Structure 1
Amino acid sequence: MMSLSLAAGVGDTTGHKNMLYLIRLRWIAVLGQITTIAGVSLGLDLNLPMPQMLTVLACLIAFNIGSHLRWHENPIVTNNEMLLALLVDVASLTAQLHFSGGTTNPFAFLYLLQVILSAVLLDAWAAWTIVGITGACLGGLAMFSKPLPVLLEDESAFAHLYVEGMLLCFLLNAGLLVILIKRITGNLRERDAHLADLRQRAAEEDHIVRMGLLASGAAHELGTPMATMSVLLGDWRRMPEFTGNATLLEEIEEMQTQLQRCKTIVTGILLSAGELRGESSAKTTLRSFLEEMLDEWRGNRPVIAFEYDDQLPGDQPVVFDSALKQTIFNLLDNALEASPLWVRLQASTEGDVLKLAVSDRGPGFAPSMLAQFGKPYQSSKGRPGSGLGLFLVVNVIRTLGGTVEARNLDKGALVELRLPLSAIALE
């Protein structure tokens, strides 16, 4: 449902951009009409009803100002609203042609501009509506308008003026169509690309849901055998065979420590199976969270050399949870696996964005992996099912409104996590 609403938003944005193009085209029409009326008044002996034509021009200007104000505040444009805008343009053109020669006016070919725009911008039924109305307007102009030669004091000049007007109308039609169609189709391609991206994201989110269900189910199933193992290890520690053997007791204690770690991991999976900012959330501060998280990570991994570069300008109250902590763990684990001898984490802020950069001195990412970074099962480990760690990292951070980027360094690789501080701020 979320993806469908986003797709609707993309369509609305495209319609809004196209409506703005129509408003600009209408200003060009206004400028053209002013230029034509002025040229006719000064250079040609045409008896045109100037008051009526200027009234139509004033109405068109008023409509365009109203359109600009409306669509500046309201970004959602429906098919019916686009149809109404084109009908106003058709009505304005029809009125001006009626007062200036009807179908004998070469600018009657401007109807084609409206028809082509309707075919690109409107639904099929609305486009055919424009075709029918423009055809009816042409028929009405042919029947009820005075022909242009009658309006000329010298009717012999009509043929010459008609050819010149037709050439000018052709150039105007062709130029406007090339510019508008290129921009409109560009908007449509951008919309289609965005919709494809949304569909891909929906598929990835569905993949995450299925993985979460599988993980939570496995966590529930593991709970019983781990509880049994915990009881058995407790019994062993009290048995005479073990109490007198320090080596065995030490091994049992290590087994209990590792079992407790497994329980913690399983608990984290179950807590993260719900909402991202759910009951597993904890109030802390940014610097405290990072330091405690890194202490836990280093205590449970065979880390040889780890650098933590704290460039945070200050500390602030935040809310973190197990899912986000596990996300950062995944980044560090991947870096440690690629570079067992050295891993580095840099924490900083850029405006209202938290930046966490994890770098290593491993072999880096293959070009194909960088091109598909964050997609499931993209891994250089060569094991079935691998490549899910970075996939989960990207999607958890994206859910919080952040981004994850990867690039290769001269030696090693760097993965940068950018997260809006508003997403983790303590409300």
Structure 2
Amino acid sequence: MTAFAGREDAARRNLLLLVLLRWLAVGGQLATILLVEFVLDIRLPLFPMLATLGGLVALNLLQLASVRFRSVSNGELLGALLIDVAALTVQLALSGGATNPFITLFLLQVVLGAVLLEAWSSWLLVAVTSAAFALLTVVHHPLPLQPGFVSHLSVAYKAGSWFSFVLAAVLVVAFVTRIARNLRERDAHLATMRQRATEQEHIVRIGLLASGAAHELGTPLATLSVALGDWRREAHDPALAAEVAEMEAEVARCKEILAGILFAAGEVTGEAPARTTLRRFVGGIVERWGRPELVALVDGLATDPPIVADRALAQTLINLLDNAIEAGASGVTLLLELVRDAAGEADILITARDDGRGFPPAFLETIGRPYQSSKERRGAGLGLFLAANVLRTLGGALEARNDPHGGALVTLRIPLAALALEERR
């Protein structure tokens, strides 16, 4: 919405610039007409020429009165330039046609079109001005010039002038539109890099807060673990002992999550990286998740490549499963695949399909941004944001869309080289 409003504002400002340029053109043409008529003593058809200037003045006043209250489209900019071309054609037709040295002003309209208009509109303006130039070589009002001003241009010279104009107009539009596109792509790239820098700064802040919280929670969790161990040894009721064992498992899971947070924050936890295989890595994450019975793991691997377990990626998969359940899914299907491109480079594809509510359309447009969530609770929306940045760090990407049959589809793509043993040594 902001980008669209920015384009509308730019178009409005461009039209105001055309209005300003038209005022200058009216003033310049009026001064030239008066100079030729009363100083050089060359008789001009004053009434139609001044009437044409009056039309341009009326157009300027109309546009100034309306442009502040509505949006301006590419079509309106094109129309304004075509009116300028038509007015210039009329003035030249009344004052010698192609023999008038001011015929080169057609090139100014072409340059303005190349800068302000969309590509197709610029090429249309080239065609119109070229046709007007050609028409003025045969259709024009001859001026009664004094002997010192008379010149005779051959047909070959006129044809060469027209060809030179067309060539210059085509080259201007071709290169100016290419340069403008490059500048737009550069600006878009810079905007993306600024957005990414902002997100990285946000991640650093989240990491500092999470790291501090992990340190603070470590002590009470350790105390709980010791107390639960004492209760388990003293519990004689089997039901109570089972409940204590379940609480111990949950405390151990909390400690594992905190260890993962510290690892992702770059802090040493005393645990060496685990060497495993891709199939075992994903299967272990599903088994350690709180409700593994809700996950159907579909193994599409032809081979099981060795990797080094990445804690950040593991936490990303856990967040993905948690999000699916929170979105109302009764189950999640994880499809594990290994695909290779034409160069032989392998990518890991992990696709999570659920039968929940799916993503709101507005959310899909802002996927991967912080605090973009359909959940109302405070702090929601960080799961996919962190997942997208974890994958970006590994050289991968996250894709999310809604399944036409219901639910959501989230695909994680990770280069195998980012997790392979030889890359981590």
1:395 aligned partner, one-letter code: N
Matched, 1:191 2:180: no
Asked if 2 retains the 8 angstrom alpha-carbon contact of 1:271 and 1:280, the reply is: no
Structure with higher RCO (Cα < 8 A, 6+ apart)? 1
Say whether the 8 Å CA contact 1:304–1:340 is kept in structure 2: no
Separation in structure 2 between the aligned mates of residue 275 and residue 223 of structure 1, nearest angstrom:
14
The alignment partner of 2:222 has SS state of: helix
The alpha carbon displacement at 1:304 in A equals 4.6
Return the match for 1:381 from 352, 372, 375: 375
Work out whether 1:411 is the aligned partner of 2:406: yes
Q: Structure 1, residues 148-205: CA drift from partner, whole Å, max 9, x if none?
A: xxxxxxxx99876654443332222111001110111111101111111111111111
Instruction: Spell out the pairing of 1:335-414 with structure 2 (5 A cutoff).
Output: 335-351=324-340, 352-409=346-403, 410-414=405-409
Alignment partner of 1:418: what SS? strand
Partner of 2:200: 205
Give per-residue Cα distances to partners, 1:57-101, cap 9 Å, x unaligned.
xxxxxxxxxxxxxxxxxxxxxxxxxxxxxxxxxxxxxxxxxxxxx
Match of 1:424 among 413, 419, 422: 419
Alpha-carbon distance, 1:412 to partner = 1.0
| Equivalent in the alignment of 1:286 | 278
**Structure-to-structure mapping, 1:165-184, within 5 angstroms:** 165-184=160-179
User: CA distance change for structure 1 residues 270 and 166 in 2, over 3 Å: closer, same or farther?
Assistant: same
300, 313, 330: which one pairs with 1:324? 313
Cα deviation for residue 280 of structure 1 reads 5.7
Superposed, 1:17-416 pairs within 5 Å as 163-237=158-232, 242-274=234-266, 281-297=273-289, 300-301=290-291, 303-351=292-340, 352-409=346-403, 410-416=405-411
For 1:396 and 1:337, how far apart are their aligned partners in 2?
Answer: 21
User: Deviation at 1:356?
Assistant: 0.8
Cα distance, 1:236 vs structure 2: 3.8
Is this contact kept in 2: 1:280–1:321, CA < 8 A?
A: no
Aligned pairs, number: 271
How far apart in 1 are the matches of 2:186 and 2:170? 25
Q: Is the 8 A contact 1:304 1:341 kept in 2?
A: no
Secondary structure of 1:362's aligned partner: coil
Per-residue CA distance 1:371-402 (angstroms, 9 max, x = gap): 11111111111112101111111111111111
Counterpart CA distance in 1 for 2:181 and 2:166 is 22
Q: Letter of the aligned partner of 2:372 in structure 1?
A: Q
Helix, strand or coil: the match of 2:226?
A: helix
Kindly tell me: are residues 363 and 340 of structure 1, through their superposed partners in 2, closer, same or farther at Cα, counting changes over 3 Å?
Answer: closer
Give the direction of change, closer, same or farther, for the CA distance of 1:309–1:235 in structure 2 (3 Å limit): closer
User: 2:369 is paired with a residue of what secondary structure?
Assistant: coil
Q: Secondary structure at the match of 2:165?
A: helix
Preserved CA contact (<8 Å) 2:298 2:335 = yes
Letter in 1 for 2:195: Q
Q: SS in structure 2 opposite 1:376?
A: coil
Per the alignment, residue 125 of structure 1 pairs with none
Amino acid in structure 1 at the alignment position of 2:382: L
Contact preservation (8 Å) 1:339, 1:360: no
Three-state SS of the structure 1 residue aligned to 2:421 is coil
String of CA shifts for 1:92-117, please: whole Å, max 9, x gaps: xxxxxxxxxxxxxx9xx9xx99xx9x
In 2, Cα distance between the equivalents of 1:304 and 1:286? 20
Quote the RMSD (CA, aligned, Å): 2.8
Give the equivalent residue in structure 2 for 1:5. none
> What is the match of residue 30 of structure 1?
none
Q: Indicate if the aligned counterparts of 2:286 and 2:295 stay in contact, CA closer than 8 A.
A: no
**Identical positions, percent:** 54
For normalisation by structure 2, the TM-score amounts to 0.58
Distance, in Å, in 2 between the alignment partners of 1:245 and 1:279 is 36
Aligned partner of residue 387 in structure 1, secondary structure: coil
Distance in 2 (CA, whole Å) between partners of 1:178 and 1:219 is 60
Question: Which ranges of structure 2 fall in alignment gaps of 5 or more residues?
Answer: 1-100, 116-150, 341-345
Residue 167 of structure 1 aligns with an amino acid whose one-letter code is W
SS in structure 2 at match of 1:191: helix
SS of 2:224 mapped into structure 1 = helix
Question: Partners in 1 of 2:386 and 2:272 — Cα distance?
Answer: 18
Distance 1:161 1:348 in 2: 70
Deviation at 1:368? 0.4
- Give 1:262 deviation, angstroms: 1.4
Per the TM alignment, residue 251 of structure 1 is displaced from its structure 2 partner at its CA by 3.0
Equivalent position amino acid for 2:297 in 1 = Y
TM-superposed deviation, 1:322: 1.0
